[in-house]
Amino acid sequence: MKKLVAVLLTLALVLSMFACAAPAETEETATAEEATEEVATVETTEEAAETTDEPIYIPVMAKGFQHQFWQAVKTGAEAAAADYGVEIYFDGPASETDIDDQVNMIKTELAKNPKAIALAALSTEAVTEILEECAEKGIPVIGFDSGVPDDQTGAVVATASTNNENAAAIAAEKFGENETLVAKMQAATPENPVVIGCLSQDAVSASVTGRTTGFVNKMKEIAEQYQPGLVSVEGHTKWESIVDNPAIIIQVEVSATTEATSLQTSANALLATPGIAAVFCSNEGAVVGFLAATSDGEDLAADGKYADLVVAGFDAGTAQKNAIRNGWFYGSVTQDPYQIGYKAVELAYEAAMGEEVSDVDTGAQWYDSTNIDDPDIALLVYD
């Protein structure tokens, strides 16, 4: 009998842990958020939302928490939640390859009967059935960031996003304005080709592939002006258009996984390519991997071993901002993550209220060491 009591007590212990967790949940998550949150006002808005009677509930399903980018989106989303008095639940999978986790999260949220859902899908195919269910139940879906590309179900009523192709083309245009690089492109011969690298973390997500496409196409167009017919795109089958004996090679390097170490390996491969003259890193993850491959960027300094390399990034983050401030990077393209989050919740609220909504382009900007501290840029480049 003693044993049975002991066994039951053990079970009770395990179960009581859950019992304790539930009531304490709001406090615990609140303190956890307090630690990570940059904007202090968020705390008060959350509490305000909780006390209101039956506020409109909108889950905001992001692609992850990994990068600071998502924290800025979250800040924007929470600001909009406060402005419109809606209750939001911001969540995303631990890694941007965890498609299954995200699908489960959205299903769980859908079971709570929300008024609208804001969604940045990791894979459109994986959420097709969920979207059909949303369409059937009349729950409007708002895409944000990369949104839900090629949705056929009609559930997605609007998307708040950056036009990634246009945004990445800005970097290619800036490469075309760089005198050193232009001189190199003019001097390039099939014997000594110039290589322009593009470092991307995957060939899956729409935002990264869109940027890669935007950059590659624009860069090819610019390079053709200097070496007509001698521009080759190599490295990944998706973008490949190989020309024999090229004078300018656009090398697309896609890493095996989205982890920093994997991107670092890809960055090393690019850096080891003979004739490498410029590199475009298509997101914050790629920038972090690239910096790791260049002694945290110091190799790019005026006396470093890659001093002549022209590097452009995308997005922001402390490490990237540091590289730009020091002039190690030529510059970077930034989206407006705060606006993405804000507009997503705003559109979701309007859709939930039955208003007509349409796509919003949240814009992109070029920033470098000269304008990084301008007030309107500083607002966009999160730490």
List contacts with other proteins (CB under 8 A): 1, 3-4, 6-7, 10-11, 13-15, 17-19, 21-22, 25-26, 29, 89, 91, 93-94, 97-101, 103-105, 107-108, 110-113, 122-123, 125-126, 128-129, 132-133, 152-153, 203-204, 237-238, 254, 256-257
Which CB sits closer to other proteins, 63 or 184? 63
CA 284 to chain centre: 7
Minimum distance between the CB of residue 3 and other proteins, rounded to whole angstroms?
Answer: 5
Which CB sits closer to other proteins, 132 or 361? 132
Which CB sits closer to other proteins, 262 or 268? 262
Minimum distance between the CB of residue 126 and other proteins, rounded to whole angstroms?
Answer: 4
Minimum distance between the CB of residue 264 and other proteins, rounded to whole angstroms?
Answer: 16
Which CB sits closer to other proteins, 24 or 378? 24
Minimum distance between the CB of residue 312 and other proteins, rounded to whole angstroms?
Answer: 24
Minimum distance between the CB of residue 183 and other proteins, rounded to whole angstroms?
Answer: 35
Minimum distance between the CB of residue 5 and other proteins, rounded to whole angstroms?
Answer: 11
Which CB sits closer to other proteins, 70 or 226? 70
Which CB sits closer to other proteins, 18 or 191? 18
Minimum distance between the CB of residue 211 and other proteins, rounded to whole angstroms?
Answer: 17
Which CB sits closer to other proteins, 119 or 311? 119
Minimum distance between the CB of residue 370 and other proteins, rounded to whole angstroms?
Answer: 38
Neighbour-count burial for 257-295, b at 16+ CB within 10 Å, e otherwise:
ebbbebbbbbbebbbebeebbbbbbbbbbbbbbbbbbbe
Minimum distance between the CB of residue 161 and other proteins, rounded to whole angstroms?
Answer: 20
Which CB sits closer to other proteins, 121 or 277? 121
Inter-residue contact 122 to 205 (CB < 8 Å): yes
Instruction: Please write down the HEC assignment for all residues of the chain.
Output: CHHHHHHHHHHHHHHHHHHHHHHHHHHHHHHHHHHHCCCCHHHHHHHHHHHCCCCCEEEEECCCCCCHHHHHHHHHHHHHHHHHCCEEEEECCCCCCCHHHHHHHHHHHHCCCCCCEEECCCCHHHHHHHHHHHHHHCCCEEEECCCCCCCCCCCEEEEEECCHHHHHHHHHHHHHHCHHHHHHHHHCCCCCCEEEEEEECCCCCHHHHHHHHHHHHHHHHHHHHHCCCCEEEECCCCCCECCCCCCEEEEEEECCCCCHHHHHHHHHHHHCCCCEEEEEECCHHHHHHHHHHCHHHHHHCCCCCCCCCEEEEECCCHHHHHHHHCCCCCEEEEECHHHHHHHHHHHHHHHHCCCCCCCEECCEEEECCCCCCCHHHHCCCCC
Which CB sits closer to other proteins, 35 or 111? 111
